[in-house]
Amino acid sequence: MKTMKTIKRFSLITAGLLLLTGLFQIQAQELRFIMCGGEVRAADQQVIDAFKASNPGVTVNMEAVPWGTCQDKSMTLAAAGDPVSLSYMGSRTLKQLGENNLIVPVTIPEKDQANYQPGILNTVSHLGKFWGFPHAFSTKALFINCGLIEKAGMQCVAPHTWEGMYQMAKTVKDKLGIAGVGLVAKDFDNTMHQFLNYLYSNGGTVIDPATNNITLNSPQAIEALEFYGKLASVAQEGPTAFERSQVKDLFNDEKVAMYIDGPWGGGQHKKTLKTINVPIPAGPSGNNGTLLITDSIAVFKGTGHESVAMELARALSSGQAQYELDSSWGLTPIMKYEKFIDNPYYVNNSYWSVFVEPIASGGPEPLFVEYKSLQTVMNNMIQGIVLGEGSAADLVATAAEELEEFK
């Protein structure tokens, strides 16, 4: 027979082994991470490597997927009961994921909330909760080819109003025979985004996030849509065939005199071009505004290791790590880095001031339960005015009515 001491020793060893097994199960976890965009940025990879080094047993299986399919993939896997641990994706998806109980809300302490630029957290907020960590941010500006403007007999200065912008574009087209402005109207997400830049520059909105009421059917929206249609008369031929990157190509080939793009645009223009970037002109009912668009890291529900995924997401979007991403990628600063970084890249920089100063008057990408339906409705409205298929008032009213179904 075993002695009592032997039994106790055996019990202690067994308990110890069970404890170690439990700890190993906690530590030995594989995080599946879908990164939209087709690549993992060096700044992000550095954080991921450091996270793995400080969490032995945790592996991170990264899958970089192009934008065209990545969001659908993340959402489809979650709906099928096989969620990834976390995904970097457009914040436009968060409302749909949250309402379908596929992601978990995240906690951003008040002291950290104060570090974000104005309006950033509105892009990830719904029903009083944050549904993702903002991780990439852009605002927009108007890029102008000064060579063409001066060739048309004008000074190359910022147009402060829509009318000033239109007259500048019209003069280029009348005198040089080329498009005064590049206009986007393709069935693509940045068509809606381009229109929202004008809507927010005229004091309009699409939906009230506090009440979930559709606010699109307004005088400000009608004015914005009318102006978009007016620009079609001085734009390149067939705007419905163009999205933003294609218009940028026309700009580089000097086939359009101006167009709207993000801060990365300057680095993608031919060095031989003489250009300026200026704020998006103000509409008759607003001020210089811009679309505040973010991509975020969402933590998916049902993996069994949500807490570990949450810590990785938090590490990626923390102050210094986030600064390294923003500054190396050329993004609009998502935080007020001057509060904790010496001489950040955008301070005292005229190029960056055009993208930073309008933040406070900008508006977020609208959050809808069915974001693809939002995009379809908005694009139909925009294409309708460009193609002359109805009045701005009728097109806006129809779009507002249709959006009721998808909020």
Dump pLDDT digits (tens) for 7-47: 333 333 333 333 333 444 445 699 999 999 999 999 999 99
Residue 113, token pair as written in the block:
């909330």
Tally of domains within the chain: 2
Give the model's pLDDT for residue 3.
40
Beta bridge partners of residue 130, listed in sequence order: 106, 125
Positions of the chain with pLDDT under 50: 1-26
Tell me: do 311 and 232 sit in the same domain: no
The strand ranges marked E within 157-282 are: 207-208, 213-214, 258-261, 275-278
* Residue 349, in any domain of the structure: no
pLDDT in tens, 140-173: 999 999 999 999 999 999 999 999 999 999 999 9
Q: How far apart are CA 115 and CA 148, in angstroms?
A: 41
**60, β-bridge pairs:** 31
> Among 371, 403, 366, 373, which Cα is nearest to 97's?
371
Please tell me the distance from the alpha carbon of residue 264 to that of residue 170, in angstroms, as a whole number: 27
> Per the domain annotation, does 335 fall within a domain?
yes
Same domain assignment for residues 114 and 260: no
Q: Flag whether 350 is in a domain.
A: no
30 and 157 within one domain: no
Quick one: 202 and 310 in the same domain?
A: no
Give bridge partners of residue 214 from the DSSP assignment: 207
Residues 172 and 284 in one domain: yes
CATH number of the domain bearing residue 98: 3.40.190.10
- Closest listed residue to residue 379, CA positions, set 187, 184, 92: 187
- 374: in domain: yes
165 with 273, same domain: the answer is yes
| Closest to 26 in 3D by CA, of 54, 58, 71, 2 | 58
Within this chain, do residues 38 and 150 fall inside the same structural domain, yes or no?
Answer: no
Residue 358: inside a domain? no
**Residues near 214 by Cβ (< 8 Å), separated by ≥ 6?**
206, 207, 400, 403, 404, 407
Whether residue 42 is contained in a domain is answered as yes
In this structure, are 15 and 85 located in the same domain? yes
* Residue 101 maps to a domain: yes
Same domain? For 73 and 193 the reply is no
Query: 47 with 169, same domain?
Result: no
pLDDT of residue 27: 52
Q: Are residues 285 and 381 in the same domain?
A: yes
Q: Which domain holds residue 107?
A: 4-137+295-343
